[in-house]
Amino acid sequence: MEIGKENKFVEFIKKYGIYVAVGVVVFAVALTFTLLATLNGSVPTGTGNLQFVMPMENASVIKDYSDTALQKNETLNQWEAHLAVDLASESSDVFAVLDGTVASVDYNYGDGYTITINHSDGFVSIYSSLQEDTAVKEGDNVVAGQKIGSASESSSNELDLGSHLHFTLMLNDDYVDPNDYLSLQAK
């Protein structure tokens, strides 16, 4: 009886062992990728339907995003991370990158006039160093590509860069590199 069972098991393994092995490998690989993606926090959470629009037309990146490598801030004469991209363009027009609702329009000495827009799927876009006369106010609904203001030199922390947009993108309360969502370098 016992021997018969064993033989059946051996027969089963001989016949289907390869399928079982392939199944295990596929499962292990899928699990590894899922774990790695989760650890990196790089799982795009529903960005499939979101169509990002450039915040400025034909803009040049004059200072790039860096979360670990420090960059020199000539205005403040210090080395610092730069959790945003600085953009400059011939036209100073600044546009909403996604549909959303204006969460705030405010001013502080360091960042200058700043518009914050809430979007779906946990995205928040922040536009700093704007001119005082913004084209939107708190509570306004905006669509992607809508003009919301103009770039200027209102950011006292970045006077050395001249008139520009300091563009910050956040996802689920974390800073993310705007380059991951917008083709900023491909002018």
Contact footprint for Zn ion (CB under 5 A): 84, 86, 158, 166
CB of 154: closest distance to Zn ion in angstroms? 12
Q: How many CA atoms lie within 13 A of 41 on its CB side?
A: 9
Name the residue number minimizing CB distance to Zn ion: 166
CB of 26: closest distance to Zn ion in angstroms? 45
Nearest Cα neighbor of 85 from 29, 3, 166 is: 166
CB of 63: closest distance to Zn ion in angstroms? 5
If the CB atoms of residues 119 and 166 are measured against Zn ion, the closer one turns out to be 166
Measured in Å, how far apart are the chain's first and last C-alpha atoms?
76
If the CB atoms of residues 134 and 168 are measured against Zn ion, the closer one turns out to be 168
Radius of gyration, CA atoms only, the chain? 25
- Taking the C-alpha atoms of residue 176 and residue 65, their distance in angstroms, rounded to an integer, is 9
133, two tokens: 């006369």
CB of 160: closest distance to Zn ion in angstroms? 10
If the CB atoms of residues 50 and 88 are measured against Zn ion, the closer one turns out to be 88
If the CB atoms of residues 114 and 134 are measured against Zn ion, the closer one turns out to be 114
**Element spanning 32, H or E:** helix 2-40
